[in-house]
Amino acid sequence: MSTTGLGASWAVDWMQRAQAVVSANRVDLIDLDRAIGDGDHGENMDRGFTAVSGKLATLAPQTPAEVLKTVATTLMSTVGGAAGPLYGTAFLRASKAADGELDGAGVAAALEAAVEGIQARGKAEPGEKTMVDAWLPAARAARAAASDGAAPAAVLRAAADAAASGAQATEPMVATKGRASYLGQRSAGHRDPGAQSSALLLAAAAEAAEAP
């Protein structure tokens, strides 16, 4: 891994860690989704990131952008439900914002592009109990850390911590978007599965950046 920025090796490592953490949390994500959705989020995410890992094993990407674009197209073609288009759009927008190796500002820009893609695709705002409630705090924390001159790994750690807090904060919310909104007040008391999977993925990104 480069000492000046995050390159393709980091992005590939991120996806390997993402596949592992999604697989390890597959049942938990299924249970979260069963409570307020149709119960397929864990299965869909596991299938998608397993496909991502397999696809990247056949390639030799040279930049983070190449990795992120591969992730986007693979998730769009393998993940069902709302998650495939939302995650696919997030990674596609991030790939377009990622220019060469990523410094702290580059990480922040990629995360900001990702959340803009999620919001454009899902028409969701913060506070509606969706994955936006993890991604938007993450992007804001990343930008604040980058503005303070933090290194890429520290920027990602700030983002991951904010995403984890954001996912936890969805528990008391009443859903107003997606399938969970059908439950109305009964959606309160359950963590949003998309926000939780988002937090897991961003934690994997930080761990890959922090790895020696």
Please give the Cα distance from 31 to 93 (Å, whole number): 29
Domains annotated on the chain, with CATH: 8-210 (1.25.40.340)
pLDDT tens track for 11-28:
999 999 999 999 999 999
Average pLDDT, the chain: 93
- 64-97: string of b/e by CB count within 10 Å (b at 16+)? bbbbbbbbbbbbbebbebbbbbbbbbbbbbbbeb
Looking at residue 39, its pLDDT comes to 86
pLDDT tens track for 143-162:
999 999 999 999 999 999 99
- 105, containing H or E segment: helix 104-122
Looking at residue 97, its pLDDT comes to 97
Confidence of residue 2 (pLDDT cuts 50, 70, 90): very low
pLDDT tens track for 113-124:
999 999 999 999
Looking at residue 36, its pLDDT comes to 80
What are the distances in angstroms from CA 185 to CA 131, 166, 177? 19, 20, 13
What are the distances in angstroms from CA 201 to CA 46, 135, 139, 163? 12, 10, 13, 9
Taking the alpha carbons of 32, 17, 111, 162 in that order, is the dihedral positive or negative? Answer: positive
pTM equals 0.94
